[in-house]
Amino acid sequence: MSLKFGTDGIRGPVESLITPEACLKIGYATGRVMKELGWETVVIGKDTRISGYMLESALQAGFISSGVNVQLAGPLPTPGVAYLTKTLRNKFGVVISASHNDFLDNGIKIFNDNGEKISRDIERRIEKYIKSKIIPVETSKIGKAYRFDESGPRYIEFCKSIVPSNISFSSLRIVIDCANGACYKVSPKVFEELGAEVIIIGNEPDGYNINKGCGSTNPDLIRTNVVKHRADYGISLDGDGDRVIIADQRGELLDGDDLLYILAFSNPNRTGPWSGVVGTKMSNLGLEEGIKKLGYKFVRADVGDKHVSEALLKHGWMLGGETSGHIICKDLVSTGDGTIAALKVISSLLILDKKPSDVLSNYTKIPQINKNINVKNKDIVNDKELKSLIKSIESDITVGRVLVRPSGTESKIRIMIEAQEERVAEKFSEDILKIIESKS
């Protein structure tokens, strides 16, 4: 069985890759490795996909057969599972989710006992056991499973606790788009219990509509609803709640770069753990320049909040994120958390008594064009003709950066070009798109 970890766990179509058999294998293999590391219990959460219950059962059986006990948290945001693995002690966590993908896909994300994505070394050990035959432990040593009904309330209380007690949301009207995903119950309650007037959309999951025309990958919905309801903010989460896009009262969208800048701007301490910010290869060049002007160092990690987290750990810093909306406030959470990021951004703006536009006027983005193309073989990125074209584009003095990379979560090639003029970036991105299409 060819199951490999990608940018964010193991992900793919339910019908061909993330099958019940695959999840049985993954559960058994992961259980074997975690037992070797001294962890006896796993917390399993999931999003709202129709395949979730089926895969949860198979995964559970795999863990139990390896002698690992299972706590079933039910639908819960990915960062909620990460939080529980850290606070419940000596446990690891698994999330059944394909994040921002549609319902046809699903996947497995794994956290260590510190609430962080597991290392590549642990991933390799799991991949090795996936290839082996399932040999259950002695009957007297098989694991047990039970429901953990407190998961949602615990996560809600944690989210509320990060807002200073002297900050009130009672004057705010906030629209929250839950993407018909894992946040549909918990995230609205967080903001309601902090006093905000909350208008909820994308909170009627049916197993098939996760991320469909809603959520952080479809931000026009939140933009429209903020203007319609004359709200102060719009919060658009993705299917598993680890990323967020925010709309201001004018309906202007704030991506992960904007949110990072607001958090960096609002932080008065820029020494030690707060001396640097981590972005990714996709982060806008304007963000890098803006962050440096604020007095921070800035480094780029590979795409994926796991890589951002690793870079933060390496440098001993506390703030990082991705343009897509994965924001990691390392002093509060161990992974990308859309709800926490939104709380932190809105709290910071209330403390500053500023609108997002007031803060963001202090930095200027470089025009950036992003395109995606579906492919059967992602190795096209190594094509000689394509590489020659990219090199030619990079030699143009009006072009800042060119990045053509295979997606780590989908069968797509992602194209990003920054240039001094948007029309130039648009033209070159089309040139790259055409050559990939001709070879697909």
Q: How far is CA 243 from CA 127, 184, 252, 312, in A?
A: 27, 14, 18, 18
Task: Express each pLDDT in 348-387 by its tens digit.
Answer: 999 999 999 999 999 999 999 999 999 888 888 898 999 9
Half-sphere exposure of 8 toward its Cβ, with a 13 Å CA cutoff? 27
d(CA 416, CA 206): 34
Q: Is 99 annotated in the active site?
A: yes
CB atoms within 10 A of CB 387: 12
Q: Is 242 one of the annotated binding-site residues?
A: yes
* pLDDT over 90 at 396, yes or no: no
Task: Express each pLDDT in 314-336 by its tens digit.
Answer: 999 999 999 999 999 999 999 99
pTM, rounded to two decimals: 0.92
Which amino acid type is present at position 352? L
pLDDT, residue 7, reads 80
pLDDT, residue 91, reads 86
Q: Which domains does the chain have, with CATH numbers?
A: 10-149 (3.40.120.10), 154-252 (3.40.120.10), 256-338+349-360 (3.40.120.10), 368-439 (3.30.310.50)
Residue 340: band (very low, low, confident or very high) from pLDDT cuts 50, 70, 90: very high
Residue 286 structure tokens: 């304007």
Report the largest interatomic distance among the alpha carbons of the chain, rounded to a whole angstrom: 69
Catalytic residue among 99, 151, 216, 348: 99
Across 156-243, the runs of DSSP E, i.e. the strands, are 173-177, 197-201, 233-237
* pLDDT over 60 at 346, yes or no: yes
